[in-house]
Structure 1
Amino acid sequence: MNNILVTGSTGQLGSDVVKELLKRGYSTLSPNRSELNLCSEDNIRNYILNSNCEAIVHCAAYTQVDKAEDEKDLCIKINATATKHIAKCAKILDIPMIYISTDYVFDGTKDGKYTENDETNPINIYGESKLAGEKYVQEILDKYYIVRTSWVFNINGKNFIETMLRLSKANNQLSIVNDQIGSPTYTKDLSRLLVDMLETSKYGLYHATNEGYCSWYEFANTIFKLANINIDIKAINSNEYASRAKRPMNSKLSKDKLIEYGFKPLPHWEDALKDYLIRRGDLLI
């Protein structure tokens, strides 16, 4: 296996997947939006079936969770329908496919960690669309890896860390949600795992995040502490923060299956954050 197609290669995860593949000696195909139009079945088929790719890592997605509530059709077209067309191409070519999914397929009401076998029940359009994509992949393919992750951040992307650092420059106090719990996930770490998966035949549905759990409030506190920023942070409940889409309160994903199948767990999220801030120049070694 050599020529790997990565969709969404300019996004947070896709860009790190391309770097990891190149580092390991693979060649990659990284189509832009005009080359691979996820809203066009004909374009998807023509591009992929003529690409000579030997695997697909499908990172591209509609990820604007709040906006999706008003753009339901577009969100489903990109996250579900396009995934179905891509999976059909993978089936024709008889090649493996990785599909990136989300903690938002769950409603967040469970006590404890969600396993891959727990019942899904998305509470927003984004979660619905990603779950529909999962189902298409499972229906169409045998050679698939569905990887649910959460709270991703990348050194070049728009993410919670960048938002916190930007807001801290213009505000003396910030109010941060303290009742949503999950795992921040560093795309640099996750991309290594995804390529590890591609190098096996251990197909299936997995949860993959950095180790450990925190609230957004705890995440923000750690960011400011490590970056040596002195700012007052107020913990608030989700109902005090206006947002268009509901979010799951509990996004703890169990990674026991990863370990059971011989994959190396990702580092703790605090170690990932330290690496991020060092690379960004905000933390001195």
Structure 2
Amino acid sequence: MKILITGAENPLSNYIENRFKGTNEIYSFTRNELDISDKNLTYEIITDNKPDILIHLDSMSNIDICEHDESLAYTINTIGTLNVAYPCSILNIPIIFLSTSYVYDGNKNSPYFETDKCSPVNIYGKTKLAGEKLIRTLCKKYFIVRTGWIFGEENCFVNKVLNNSNVSMFVCSTETGNPTYVEDLCRVIEKMFNSNLYGIYNCGNPSSTTKSAWVKKIFNYAGIERRILEMPENFLRNTAIRPKNSSLNISLIKNCFDIELPNWESRLSEYINDKLKNQ
């Protein structure tokens, strides 16, 4: 299969490219090579390569930077997605768009379904949701994957925590979500390659947890004793609001693709054990 990947400079894209390149023909582009804010260039590259499927990973994903530069966030996450979706719609190319669990407002007391109302509380979520809507308007063949708290790729949150284990750790005590192991995300994406069950899907490892409990597990599995300083939500200034609850119901993935994801604790334990063995 011929796969085109945007945003090849980021660690998640590198992981996904390496995961699929053995059995597929991969065309990956960094933002310097494919500036998705350039409509004509984006159209030219996609139509020239004519992939069987496109995985759109290029994104302005730093939530706080998005909040401070709303114009750039919309340029990359919304207009850039429009520029990618348009040639896909013209050539009838299926597009896999990595979205975010931050499209939900966080006020629900239980995990979100794909059909729940989206009302993002920060610019990052708003720009990604706008990108979703453009894909749904333009394209007939699309998979929108809402996910968050991804770990397993280089420079992921777990690695950042472990690399800074000698300093005090401040973590929000109330923010809830689903850690998502990157390999399981790839398993879901791979199922979509040969599927026509287009639509929106939540993706994360069950079950939900708080950010502080996740960090405690990271230290626990790594055998590190470290005090976690828990803070109330949005305690720090100059940071974007995070939804209090971004946990996901993932039953649709199981029902549509016959795939059951393992719990995040087992995946985290495996990942950290592998890291320790390879040190």
Q: TM-score with structure 1 length normalisation?
A: 0.93
Q: Which of 245, 250, 266 pairs up with 1:250? A: 245
Matched AA of 1:247:
R
CA drift at 1:41: 0.8
| Residue of structure 1 in register with 2:135 after alignment | 137
Alpha-carbon distance in 2 for matches of 1:227, 1:117: 38
| Residue of structure 1 in register with 2:19 after alignment | 20
| Residue of structure 1 in register with 2:33 after alignment | 35
Cα pair distance change 1:191/1:12, threshold 3 Å: farther
Q: Which of 147, 150, 157 pairs up with 1:160? A: 157
Alpha-carbon distance in 2 for matches of 1:277, 1:155: 12
- The question of whether the paired residues in 2 share the 8 Å contact of 1:80 and 1:133 is answered with yes
- The question of whether the paired residues in 2 share the 8 Å contact of 1:12 and 1:187 is answered with no
Matched AA of 1:212:
S
| Residue of structure 2 in register with 1:174 after alignment | 169
Alpha-carbon distance in 2 for matches of 1:49, 1:231: 52
Alpha-carbon distance in 2 for matches of 1:265, 1:80: 31
Alpha-carbon distance in 1 for matches of 2:128, 2:257: 26
Residue segments in structure 1 that go unaligned for 5+ positions in a row = none
Give matches, 1:1-285, under 5 Å: 2-23=1-22, 25-157=23-155, 159-169=156-166, 171=167, 173-281=168-276
- The question of whether the paired residues in 2 share the 8 Å contact of 1:155 and 1:276 is answered with no
Alpha-carbon distance in 2 for matches of 1:148, 1:222: 24
What SS does the aligned partner of 1:99 have? strand
Matched AA of 2:25:
S
What SS does the aligned partner of 1:281 have? helix
Runs of 4+ in structure 1 displaced over 4 angstroms?
A: none
Alpha-carbon distance in 2 for matches of 1:233, 1:34: 39
Alpha-carbon distance in 2 for matches of 1:74, 1:250: 26
What SS does the aligned partner of 1:168 have? coil
Q: % of aligned pairs identical?
A: 30
CA displacement, residues 225-275 of structure 1 (integer Å, 9 cap, x when unaligned): 110111112322114333421000011111111122133132211122122
What SS does the aligned partner of 1:261 have? helix
Alpha-carbon distance in 2 for matches of 1:282, 1:241: 36
CA displacement, residues 169-200 of structure 1 (integer Å, 9 cap, x when unaligned): 2x2x4332110010111212201210111121
What SS does the aligned partner of 1:79 have? helix
- The question of whether the paired residues in 2 share the 8 Å contact of 1:8 and 1:58 is answered with yes
CA drift at 1:202: 1.0
- The question of whether the paired residues in 1 share the 8 Å contact of 2:175 and 2:233 is answered with yes
Q: How many residues align?
A: 279
Residue segments in structure 2 that go unaligned for 5+ positions in a row = none
Matched AA of 1:126:
Y
- The question of whether the paired residues in 2 share the 8 Å contact of 1:90 and 1:96 is answered with yes
Q: Over aligned residues, Cα RMSD in angstroms?
A: 1.6
Alpha-carbon distance in 1 for matches of 2:111, 2:104: 11
Alpha-carbon distance in 2 for matches of 1:116, 1:239: 26
Q: Which moved more, 1:35-44 or 1:123-132?
A: 35-44
Alpha-carbon distance in 2 for matches of 1:279, 1:124: 35
Alpha-carbon distance in 2 for matches of 1:12, 1:193: 18
Alpha-carbon distance in 1 for matches of 2:217, 2:277: 13
CA drift at 1:72: 0.7
- The question of whether the paired residues in 2 share the 8 Å contact of 1:36 and 1:43 is answered with yes
Q: TM-score with structure 2 length normalisation?
A: 0.95
